Amino acid sequence: MLPFDIGNASSSSTNNNNYDNPSNRSQQRFQQQQTHSQGQQHQQSIEDPYSFLINQPVPPPLPFLDDDSFMSQWPLLMDFPQQDENSMGWNYELIVAQQPVLGRRCGFGTKDRRPISPPPIVELLITTSNGNRVNAEDVDISFLIALCDNWQAEGMTEANVIAEPSKRNLVGSLVASAIKLYNVQGQLGIYFIFSDISVRLEGVYRLGFSLVDVRSPCISLDQSSSILAKIFTNAFTIYPAKSFPGVAARTELSQCFLKQGVKIPVRKEEDTIGSNSNSNRKKRSANDTETG
């Protein structure tokens, strides 16, 4: 019997021959190096899971807009070009359903600030390109707002900025969302109600209202956004506190909207124009001033 198995001997001999072959040795060495390299990469990925970002290209820096350059562009950012109709071919028109009459100056404090009375109410009318009236029920008002600004009585000069101190002349809620309400005649319409607006300084003013669809880019240097419609109120007077005659009486339209859940400030009857209590209160105030 042979001291070893012939099959194993031949297999061992074959392996030795393969190892002695130079080409086989280089191939095995390459495989060992590759296996070792993969092991190192795997170990490195475990230690640093973000190592794959090292060889990624660096993105370019984002443009930076400092305060000076931003403020220099501010007039352009707020300069909305007017547009006659939107992409649906609808024409927008604003009408003042309720005109402001008078108000008392509120100065630069926050105490006893009284809004303009009666509260300005603006109605939105929409017609098609053929001139047909669009029903309010068919209009999506989710993105429609109206902006309020203050103007001089002639309607040509803005009066919303006070030079000294640098503050706005108009105070309160200057933006109103659209709301669908029934008017006194029972007709459904789209309205913007400005029930909380006061003026700091006495004088004669007008209010300007602008209709904007906030789905359009409102801040854009290429002026792609637009004002859909504009309207001015009639001139009204803001009185100093001593000569203020009292708030205007509640109108029928305000009372109609109040019943539908709209928050409209309601003054006591004794504080309205022409009431006896208001006249007596003024006389008492004048007597107290003369006595003092």
Tens-digit pLDDT profile for residues 193-215: 999 999 999 999 999 999 999 88
Closest CA to 137 of 101, 85, 190, 75: 190
pTM exceeds cut of 0.75: no
Q: Of 225-229, 258-262, 281-285, which one has max mean pLDDT?
A: 258-262
Q: Between the CA atoms of 107, 113, 117 and 119, what dihedral angle is there, to the nearest 10 degrees? A: 110
Q: Is the CB of residue 256 less than 8 Å from the CB of residue 263?
A: no
Q: Is the CB of residue 148 less than 8 Å from the CB of residue 169?
A: no
Here the tokens at position 291 are 């006595």
User: Which residue type does 122 have?
Assistant: V
Mean local confidence (pLDDT), 11-40: 59
Cβ neighbours around 111 below 10 Å, total: 6
What pLDDT is stored for residue 164 in this prediction?
64
Q: Is the CB of residue 118 less than 8 Å from the CB of residue 251?
A: yes
Cβ neighbours around 100 below 10 Å, total: 26
State which fold the 76-281 domain adopts: Immunoglobulin-like (2.60.40)
Calculate helix-pair angle for 6-20, 22-47, nearest 10 degrees: 80
Closest CA to 189 of 237, 128, 260: 260
Mean local confidence (pLDDT), 258-277: 69
Q: For 143-166, how does the pLDDT look when each residue is reduced to its tens digit (9 = 90+)?
A: 999 999 998 888 777 777 776 666
